[in-house]
Chains A and B, each alone.
Chain A
């Protein structure tokens, strides 16, 4: 609803103490015509509106009410928030508020935005605190020290016949525990100082992680969209690379460039500059897709599904990646990429059918890969998202490492700390997979707090190798709680109950509390 232009002209004219006759003369119309405009009985626009705006020292947006309209929309959104409780303002009441007190309305909107931002920020912080292993470890130490102090103090207070040696012993214990507690408190303060300094640089990866954990790694809206897109593809064909190409041509007039043709000159130069060799290219201008001759069928299918999703449901991807949860611009870009890949994955592996196959094969990833023309990594990726409440698979965490040991991709598993960058514990199967001749490396690990997990890892390559294009190896690892391991084919032959053969590990050297680990490369963040 717009506040009328005439009303605003009259208001501003009066506030500048200009008579109707004088303004009419300045803008070159009769006073009676201006009267009709001010009474909203005549429309006004174009050159005349510009003249009026100039004479009344306003810009066109202020006169036409565009900025007011935005304000009305923003206020409407604010008053629709459940926090406003019973305050039900009608659209016309909101419009009146904007017309009568625009500054106040604007301040209200600013205040509401600050509230929404601060809520989003609180959520990010509380998620982080919940998942922070150092914080949890230090709190545990504090509680243990408080227990020792309290218990010793009670003995000194309530036991009347303590010997001098006994009293001395408990006093010494209180002194010792208090000193330890001071050290812990200082580490905590240091940690929080660092956290607040890091506030501006919360990494986008970490922010996206928080979001994925919050949503339990399952997005019903994206699943629905993926299913609809899959139906478009399989309407006439089965779901495969050719069907995707056919539908891309039908729907978007996109064709496949001959694989023997070179990629576009620009991309060629870009790639040479960056010293990389791409597997796939989509040229918007010529509406063509191109694949390298060394690309695998699984890569081609996935890239085509991804492109189809990006072109078909771009609005949905954009809307989801603009979730108020994301406070950093870069997170939105990262989220858009993640969401598009999620949809592509869900198109290739439709939830119900895939879950059934997964359970039938007991999570045999290579078997599933053959059935869905997918790589080990793509299947592992999809397994992580089988988290629908009513029909869920095993909860997995996911990690990918390059041959130098650097972690290049990860999806979290609540409870297990998977480093999101740098290096994990060198004992993890993800690193062993590079050196192993076994197709799959299996490992039962135990952390210092006694928690046990089952890890499986495999080295994979995204493309076929030739003399000129080297293999691009990476190691992919899935992690699940030990209690779920019995449902997985890879645990066959392992004595899961026998903890003596567990591999003792940490999350990474900095966060590890193992006291005498010979593999330690870096000192721990807190005393062990």
Chain B
């Protein structure tokens, strides 16, 4: 079965609630806790959407983003960046590196669910084109 969403987040409290709300919305979800594992899991599991925290151990979210955009299999993968760094500079950097969407912590659950929903649609469109 294809995986819908991969979450890369090292804060366990946030991860538990993200996992719950996304599964409850009817999607299959798996999680990793650091940047290196995120890169490996994207390759292995081919998720439709990646929810990516910026402050991750081993490799930061920005480094993961940069890496994934260079790989042909993940260059179009819809990626939602979650960060407590809400400054304009970080948003610009995320955009520059190829993030599809950006949400600043603390967020409302519905905001995450709706953004992921639209990214899944986007993923479907991309798959359709292929």
Interface residues of A (CB under 8 A from B): 139-140, 143-152, 154-155, 158-159, 166, 169-170, 173, 176-177, 448-451, 499
Query: Which of B58-66, B72-80, B118-126 forms part of the interface with chain A?
Result: B58-66
A148-B24 in contact given A450-B55, A450-B59, A450-B60 (Cβ < 8 Å): no
Of chain B, the residue at the smallest CB distance from A177 is B13
Contact A155 B63 (CB under 8 A): no
Contact of B59 among A140, A143, A499 (CB under 8 A): A499
With contact pairs A148-B11, A449-B60 given, residues A166 and B20 touching in the complex (Cβ less than 8 Å): yes
Q: What residues of chain B lie closer than 8 Å to A448, measured between beta carbons?
A: 57
Question: In the complex the two chains form, is B55's CB within 8 Å of A140's CB?
Answer: yes
A115 to B111, CA, bound (A): 45
Tell me the bound Cα distance from A170 to B12 in angstroms. 11
- In the complex, what residues of A have CB within 8 A of residue B43's CB? none
Give chain A residues whose Cβ lies under 8 Å from the Cβ of B107.
147, 150-151
Which of B11, B18, B63 is in CB contact (< 8 Å) with A450? B63
CB of A481, distance to nearest CB on chain B (Å): 12
**B contact residues around A144 at 8 Å (CB):** 11, 13-14, 84, 105
B115 at the interface (CB under 8 A from A): no
Q: How far is it, in angstroms, between the C-alpha of A146 and the C-alpha of B11 when the chains are bound? A: 11
Q: Are B85 and A140 in contact, with the CB atoms below 8 A?
A: yes
Instruction: Tell me the chain B residues, 31-68 only, with Cβ under 8 Å from chain A.
Output: 35, 54-57, 59-63
Which applies to chain A's interface (DSSP): helix, strand, loop or mixed? helix
Q: Tell me whether A146 and B62 are in contact (CB under 8 A).
A: no
Q: Does A151 lie within 8 Å of B55, measured CB to CB?
A: no
Q: Are A151 and B56 in contact, with the CB atoms below 8 A?
A: no
| Between-chain CB contacts (< 8 Å), 23 pairs | A140-B84, A140-B85, A143-B106, A144-B84, A145-B13, A147-B11, A147-B13, A147-B107, A148-B11, A148-B16, A150-B107, A151-B18, A151-B21, A151-B106, A151-B109, A154-B109, A159-B24, A173-B12, A173-B17, A450-B35, A450-B54, A450-B61, A450-B63
A173-B13 contact given A155-B20, A166-B20, CB 8 Å threshold: yes
| Separation of A166 and B61 alpha carbons in the complex (Å) | 29
Assess A143 versus B60: contact at CB under 8 Å? Given A148-B11, A149-B13. no
For A170, the chain B residues whose CB sits under 8 A away are 16-17, 20
A177, B62: Cα distance in complex, Å = 26
Residues of B close to A173: CB separation below 8 A: 12-13, 16-17
A409 to B12, CA, bound (A): 42
Assess whether A169 is in contact with B108, with CB atoms less than 8 Å apart: no
Partner of A143, one of B13, B56, B61, B105: B105
- B18: chain A residues at CB < 8 Å are 151
Q: Please give, as numbers and ranges, the residues of chain A lying within 8 Å of B62 by CB-CB distance.
A: 450
In Å, the complex CA distance between A158 and B63 comes to: 36
Instruction: Collect the chain B residues with CB atoms within 8 Å of residue A148's CB.
Output: 11, 13-14, 16-17
Cβ-neighbour of A150 out of B11, B35, B57, B106 (below 8 A): B106
Distance in Å: Cβ of A40 to nearest Cβ of chain B:
64
Q: Give A176 to B56 CA distance when docked, in angstroms.
A: 21
Task: For the complex formed, measure the closest distance between the CB of A203 and the CB atoms of chain B, giving whole angstroms.
Answer: 28
